[in-house]
């Protein structure tokens, strides 16, 4: 705790407030909220509507514009208040067609997708010998003579875990591989797709270039294609040919879509529930992040239906363009900078439809007892409190950096990373019961926070984590 | 690859050597080696003998001395050559008795073990109010006023994964928690034990102090005790009382025990197979690292039995005191510095008896094709090659730092971290079939390396990774 006095004061408030949090499980209204949520399939119906009527909704695409219209209509139809679109400018990148082929006596086409933001090959294929490295560190250890004029193959593999903890270490190959390879004179880069499944499914995602370093084309190949390429390398030198018509095409207009559920006290501020409306341009973004959209919309709608609402309101924010540069999350924090004091806390759903298995917070020390006590309300769902150092979600990170307390419900991400950013991210990967379970979890935590006695201290202002490189469709020298 | 010429040269050697590695699976002798290993239970018998006749063998204890005698006798009885003990001086720490109790109106005894190397409480208990933090980063963010005169509780929880990747991030609380807490004036530290199971089982392990910073007592409590303590914190301030008679007691004599299996060509060097002979002072070290000892001994013995041995020999090194300061691994590298050129490569087994599920190397770029081709021999066991950036095991890290190529067979560590460093690390946690599978894997890779055509390039000399603090039983100012 940061001082003794606020800690004791907080405890007194907890003990004396009529709305105080019981240490022995949720109040009857929340128990009923959980029970009804578990039995309902409305979130799945919302998700089905989004994926089937809108389809993919990549930033700046026609689908993106359809998604904004869909979100406005859906929030209004579901009874939200103050429904509106706040404009966000997004970069626009178009995939085109692409191929990655082993050439020579035993040619072989590999299953590939361009990495989002990659330059194309300007009408003629790029061909070169493969030089392989597991990770960026290994690539950095190679000399310029090893790499120049060749095509770098980065083959580290993501391991499946319940919380997706291997994503961060592995995805560095995708995000920075092209820039690091180009610094040593490579012609192109091919990575083992960042996915844990034993299939030949390429996963896209974004990359970053570095100003002053040549922008080279970058591709992800499926796990089985990566294994085939490694096996060929054991037999001798391998040449590959890369072709792509991808490229940046300026900017486009998109929007953050917002809807609210008022609380009992209009002066009491609100809890922000976030998810991102955009998706990649393959599949229909059912898990990423259609599931998050459907979960937070339904969790907020259910709280709005209650006879006795919590003291504070809920603000649902469906963010523009998380995938290709976090445009919506950054814009929201700038647009609402003067009003951040009314944001009690923020919570985002952006890890698919796997069931929530743990609960985390990032609050000031004196508010830790409040955070832990909310775990009593999640206990009937089997969700324990495990840490006070969550980062929250990507879209709410600009809020966290400005001191807004963030909370997180960690989803089981084992299956998520099998189809994340792939053409297989479609409705058939979502179990309606999982979505219903997650609605119960988000509704519980959202209610508990919205009805929290007292306020939460603001966190320290953070400097944003430095990113290596610049967005792929940003200015280049 | 680091240059084109050696790469092509290596391929020619591979293609022309009579002993060259086939790209279509292991040769008949290795297939038979695998089949026989899978059917045999001799490694389990060796492990049973070690755990039942020696028991725990913590550095400097009587069990440690018994273990050295056992290893010498066992290697001789199993037909190894040049069996010998190379002296190693080890620090000696004695646990004594200990307790961690919540005091006040609702007293509660928590299930605890001192962290290895911890100072005791000098005959009188230490009592103070708990201040909680998830991680060291969060602790560092607290002010001295928050922490001084209190007892720090670090409650981050290790998640179960197949490769144990969450051990490193979580174990920092155990290793550095006491020093970081003491820097801010804490009286003691209690951590959530570093284990992934839902039991109330404390895990020990070592810590490091920092010279010039007070040495405070440190304890690990079981996962359920940690959850109880968190729940109490949600209700209000909590006081705990710590007591321990632990302490350092100078040094003791131990030894690395070595045995060899000669190859066809006495001039051709050898492959080092390592495991550590010591264990913690709780349980009987059946998984950590009795399983590794039994696995490498049996893998080498089986290769020694073959009608046609590989070109190079095998050297089995059973290291002294890995757990409490890596004494044996460091000593071996110093003692054999002049002879490292004869070590083709090193491979260690120190992650229990879970089945090997992936194969990794750390070789110079021009040797990558050789490393990958050995995966063909492991393919019948379903073990893929996944990276060239392994660190190898702890005991062989001083060899790696001196440029010796290292290889790694990654075990499924899901169950391992449920009982690692606990009283439950006993023979009943080991499945004899898993051990047999691992013997097949180690024997295959050891044979393949020992019979490798040509040599492996030396790696770059590394600077050892800096450790925070000093060994708990080392000099203090």
* Count of alpha carbons within 13 angstroms of residue B299, beta-carbon side: 35
Size of interface A-B (CB pairs under 8 A): 120
State the residue for tokens 């009923």: A32
Q: Which of B427, B445, B440 is nearest to B44 (CA)?
A: B427
Q: Which of A440, A170, A424 is nearest to A279 (CA)?
A: A424
Dist. CA A240–CA A217, nearest whole Å: 13
| Position A448 confidence tier, pLDDT thresholds 50, 70, 90 | very high
Nearest residue in chain B measured CA to CA from A8? B236
Length of chain A: 477
Dist. CA B362–CA B348, nearest whole Å: 13
Q: Are A200 and A461 in contact (CB under 8 A)?
A: no
pLDDT score of A452 more than 60: yes
pLDDT score recorded for residue B464:
76
Q: Are B405 and B390 in contact (CB under 8 A)?
A: no
Q: Which of A42, A27, A450 is nearest to A260 (CA)?
A: A450
pLDDT in tens, A293-329: 999 999 999 999 999 999 999 999 999 999 999 999 9
Nearest residue in chain A measured CA to CA from B11? A236
B232, two tokens: 């109490």
pLDDT in tens, B57-93: 999 999 999 999 999 999 999 999 999 999 999 999 9
Dist. CA A11–CA B288, nearest whole Å: 45
Coil, helix or strand for A433?
helix
Q: Which residues pair with A451 in a beta bridge?
A: none
Question: B464 CB contacts (<8 Å, ≥6 apart)?
Answer: B397, B398, B401
Coil, helix or strand for A9?
helix
Q: How far is B411 from chain A (nearest CA, A)?
A: 13
Q: Which residues pair with B315 in a beta bridge?
A: B260, B272
A267, two tokens: 């002066």
CB-CB neighbors (< 8 A) of B224 in chain A = none
Q: How far is CA A57 from CA A53, A97, A115, A278, B221, in A?
A: 11, 18, 17, 5, 49
Q: Which of B139, B386, B462 to mutate to test the interface with A (most CBs of A within 10 A)?
A: B386
Nearest residue in chain A measured CA to CA from B236? A11
Strands (E), A373-451: 385-387, 406-411
CB-CB neighbors (< 8 A) of A11 in chain B = 236-237
CB-CB neighbors (< 8 A) of A452 in chain B = none
Nearest residue in chain B measured CA to CA from A22? B235
Q: Which of A206, A240, A248 is nearest to A119 (CA)?
A: A248
CB-CB neighbors (< 8 A) of B376 in chain A = 234
Kindly list the averaged pLDDT for each block of 10 residues, start to end, along chain B of length 477.
Answer: 33 36 75 96 98 97 98 98 98 95 96 97 96 96 96 96 92 97 98 95 97 96 96 95 96 97 96 98 98 98 96 98 97 96 98 97 94 95 94 96 97 96 96 97 98 93 79 71
| Position A208 confidence tier, pLDDT thresholds 50, 70, 90 | very high
pLDDT in tens, B7-38: 333 333 333 333 344 456 899 999 999 999 99
Inspect the interface and report whether the beta carbons of B3 and A387 lie closer than 8 Å: no
CB-CB neighbors (< 8 A) of B3 in chain A = 145-146
Inspect the interface and report whether the beta carbons of B145 and A369 lie closer than 8 Å: no
Question: B113 CB contacts (<8 Å, ≥6 apart)?
Answer: B95, B98, B193, B202, B203, B204, B219, B220, B282
CB-CB neighbors (< 8 A) of A143 in chain B = 2
Inspect the interface and report whether the beta carbons of A234 and B163 lie closer than 8 Å: no
B429, two tokens: 């946690």
B159 → closest Cβ in A165, A376, A385: A165
Dist. CA B469–CA B216, nearest whole Å: 14
pLDDT in tens, A16-63: 333 334 456 899 999 999 999 999 999 999 999 999 999 999 999 999
Predicted interface score ipTM higher than 0.95: no
| pTM assigned to the model | 0.83
Question: B467 CB contacts (<8 Å, ≥6 apart)?
Answer: B208
State the residue for tokens 């009587």: B62
Dist. CA A419–CA A415, nearest whole Å: 7
CA angle B210, B216, B219 (to 5 degrees): 110
Dist. CA A333–CA A206, nearest whole Å: 22
């Amino acid at each position: 705790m940061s001082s003794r006095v606020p800690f004791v004061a907080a405890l007194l408030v907890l003990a004396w407030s009529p709305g105080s949090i019981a240490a022995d499980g949720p109040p009857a209204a929340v128990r009923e909220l959980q029970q009804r949520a578990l039995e309902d399939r409305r979130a799945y119906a919302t998700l089905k509507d989004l994926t089937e009527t809108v389809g993919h909704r990549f930033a700046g695409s026609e689908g993106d514009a359809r998604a904004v219209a869909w979100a406005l209509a859906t929030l209004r139809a579901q009874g939200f208040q103050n429904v509106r679109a706040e404009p966000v400018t997004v970069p626009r990148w178009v995939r085109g067609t692409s191929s990655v082929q082993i050439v020579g006596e035993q040619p072989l086409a590999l299953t590939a997708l361009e990495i989002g933001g990659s330059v194309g090959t300007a009408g003629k294929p790029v061909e070169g010998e493969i030089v392989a490295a597991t990770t960026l560190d290994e690539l950095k250890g190679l000399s310029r003579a090893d790499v120049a004029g060749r095509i770098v193959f980065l083959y580290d593999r993501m391991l499946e875990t319940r919380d997706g903890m291997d994503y961060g270490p592995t995805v560095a190959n995708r995000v920075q591989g092209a820039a690091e390879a180009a610094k040593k004179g490579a012609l192109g880069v091919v990575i083992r797709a960042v996915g844990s499944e034993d299939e030949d499914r390429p996963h896209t995602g974004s990359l970053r270039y570095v100003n002053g370093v040549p922008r080279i084309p970058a591709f992800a190949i499926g796990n089985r294609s990566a294994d085939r390429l490694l096996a060929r390398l054991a037999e001798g030198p391998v040449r590959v040919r890369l072709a792509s018509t991808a490229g940046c095409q300026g900017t486009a207009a998109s929007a953050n879509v917002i809807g609210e559920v008022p609380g009992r006290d209009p002066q009491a501020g609100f809890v922000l529930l976030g998810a991102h409306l955009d998706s990649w341009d393959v599949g229909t973004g059912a898990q990423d992040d259609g599931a998050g959209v459907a979960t937070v919309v339904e969790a907020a709608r259910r709280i709005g239906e209650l006879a006795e609402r919590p003291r504070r309101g809920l603000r649902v924010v469906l963010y523009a363009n998380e995938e290709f540069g976090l445009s919506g999350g950054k814009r929201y924090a700038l647009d609402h900078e003067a009003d951040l004091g009314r944001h009690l806390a923020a919570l985002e759903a952006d890890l698919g439809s796997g069931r929530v298995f743990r609960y985390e917070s990032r609050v000031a020390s004196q508010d830790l007892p409040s955070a832990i006590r909310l775990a009593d309300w999640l206990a009937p769902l089997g969700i324990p409190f495990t840490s006070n150092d969550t980062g929250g979600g990507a879209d709410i990170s600009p809020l966290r950096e400005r001191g807004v307390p963030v909370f997180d419900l960690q989803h089981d991400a084992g299956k998520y990373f099998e189809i994340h950013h792939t053409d297989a991210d479609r409705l058939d990967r979502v179990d309606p019961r999982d979505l219903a379970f997650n609605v119960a979890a988000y509704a519980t935590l959202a209610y508990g926070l919205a009805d929290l006695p007292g306020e939460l201290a603001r966190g320290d202002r953070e400097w944003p984590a430095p990113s290596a490189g610049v967005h792929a469709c940003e200015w280049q020298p």
